[in-house]
Amino acid sequence: MATLLITGANRGIGLGLVKVYLENQWQVIASCRSPKTASELMSLKEQYSDKISIIGMDVNDQTQIDAAVQSLNGAPIDVLINNAGTVEMEKYGSGAYEKVNGVPIDDPDLRKYDYQQWEDILRTNVLGPARITGSFVDNLEAADHGVVVMITSGLASVSNTWNAGRYAYRTSKAALNMLMRSSGEWLESLGITSVAISPGWTRTDMGGPNALNSIEESVNGVYQVITGVSAEDAGKFLNFDGTTLPW
Ligand X SMILES: NC(=O)c1ccc[n+]([C@@H]2O[C@H](COP(=O)([O-])OP(=O)(O)OC[C@H]3O[C@@H](n4cnc5c(N)ncnc54)[C@H](OP(=O)(O)O)[C@@H]3O)[C@@H](O)[C@H]2O)c1
Which residues form the interface with ligand X (CB under 6 A)?
7-8, 10-14, 32-34, 58-60, 83-86, 124, 128, 151, 153, 198-199, 201-202, 204-207, 211
Q: Which is nearer to ligand X, 3 or 124 (CB)?
A: 124
Say if CB 2 and CB 8 are below 8 A apart: no
The smaller minimum CB distance to ligand X, of residues 184 and 207, is found at 207
In terms of C-beta density within 10 A (0-12 exposed, 13-18 middle, 19 or more buried), how is residue 117 classed? middle
Considering the complex, what minimum distance in angstroms separates the CB of residue 118 from ligand X? 15
Nearer to ligand X, 90 or 232 (CB): 90
Nearest to 105 by CA among 159, 156, 175, 163: 163
Closest separation between CB of residue 219 and ligand X, Å?
9
- Taking the complex as a whole, the smallest distance from the CB of residue 22 to ligand X amounts, in Å, to 17
Could you tell me the smallest distance in angstroms from the CB atom of residue 111 to ligand X?
26
Q: How far apart are CA 124 and CA 22, in angstroms?
A: 26
Choice between 25 and 37, CB closer to ligand X: 37
